[in-house]
Amino acid sequence: DSGVTQTPKHLITATGQRVTLRCSPRSGDLSVYWYQQSLDQGLQFLIQYYNGEERAKGNILERFSAQQFPDLHSELNLSSLELGDSALYFCASSVAGNAVNEQFFGPGTRLTVL
Amino acid sequence: AQSVTQLDSHVSVSEGTPVLLRCNYSSSYSPSLFWYVQHPNKGLQLLLKYTSAATLVKGINGFEAEFKKSETSFHLTKPSAHMSDAAEYFCVVTHTGGFKTIFGAGTRLFVKA
C-alpha cells in the first residue's frame, strides 16, 4: 500500500458527460501528479500540482482540468467525455515539487466511457 | 528535450535465468532515471533510481541498473528471474530541476516455469 488513495475505483459514464476523480496524497507529500494510461498512448503525464499551485503541465487536454485543495487532496475533472478518454487514471504524490523525487502511485481509477 | 525508449515491448525468460530489460534515453540535461514496476491491476512501484551518484544502482527485489552515459542507456537486470517478477516495467527520465516525467512505453516481462 503506497499511502495514496484514489476514488472511485471504477467509473462508467456516457459520452458528453463530466466526471471528477479524487486523489489523496501520502501524509506529508506536497506534490500530486496525474497520469493517464491507455493501451494506445501508454502512460502519459497530465499535470502536477505542488502545495496548491500548478507546477507542470503535460499532455492534458483542454477538456480536462485539475486542482489541489488546501488539505492537499486533488481532483481531476474530465468534461465532454469521448470514447477515447476511456483509460486508467493514476494519481501519484511526492514529498517535494521536483520530479527527481520518488513518486508514490495510487491504485488508479478505471474510467469507461460508453 | 527528453525522451526514453524501451527497446523491447515484451521479454520472456524462464524462471531462474537472467533478466535484461533495455532502456535508452535522451536528455539535454543531466538526467535522473528511474525504473518502475506495475503488476496487473496495481499501481506503479519504484524499483530503483539514478540521480548522478553511483552509476550502478541497486533496487528492490534483486534488480539493478547501470547508468552508461556514453551509450545513453539505463538497462535493468536481475541475475535470476522469479515467477513474481512477471509484470510491466517502465523506464522513466527526468532531470534535476525539472518537473516533467517522461515514461517509456513499457516492457512486459513474462516468466515461464
Express each pLDDT in B3-31 by its tens digit. Answer: 899 999 999 999 999 999 999 998 877 78
What digits encode the pLDDT tens for the residues B50-92? 987 788 999 999 999 999 999 999 999 999 999 999 999 999 9
Residue A100's pLDDT band (cuts 50, 70, 90) = confident
pLDDT higher than threshold 80 for residue B99: no
Residue B112's pLDDT band (cuts 50, 70, 90) = very high
Tell me whether residues A90 and B106 touch, CB distance under 8 A: no
Integer Cα distance of A26 and B67 in angstroms: 30
SS3 of A46-108: the string is: EEEEECCEEEEECCCCCCEEEEECCCCCEEEEECCCCHHHCEEEEEEEECCCCCCCCCEECCC
Q: Chain A window 43-102: which residues touch B at a Cβ cutoff of 8 Å?
A: 43-45, 48, 55-56, 58, 90, 92, 97-100, 102
Residue of B nearest to A55 (CA): B99
Cell numbers 497530465 label which residue? A46
Q: Which residue from A42, A99, A108 is facing B100, i.e. has the nearest CB?
A: A99
CB B66, CB B56: distance < 8 Å: yes
User: How many percent of chain A have pLDDT more than 90?
Assistant: 80
pLDDT higher than threshold 90 for residue A84: yes
Q: Which residue from B36, B97, B106 is facing A98, i.e. has the nearest CB?
A: B97
CB A38, CB A87: distance < 8 Å: yes
Residue B96's pLDDT band (cuts 50, 70, 90) = low
At residue A49, the pLDDT reads 94
Q: Please, what sign has the CA dihedral across residues B100, A99, B34, A78?
A: negative
Residue A76's pLDDT band (cuts 50, 70, 90) = very high
**Long-range contacts: B68-71, Cβ < 8 Å, 24+?**
B71/B24
pLDDT higher than threshold 80 for residue A90: yes
Helix/strand/coil for B8: coil
Tell me whether residues A99 and B94 touch, CB distance under 8 A: yes
Helix/strand/coil for B83: helix
Tell me whether residues A45 and B101 touch, CB distance under 8 A: yes
Residues of chain A with C-beta less than 8 angstroms from the C-beta of B100 = 45, 56, 58, 99
Q: What share of chain B is helix, strand, coil (3-state, %, to 5)?
A: 5, 55, 40
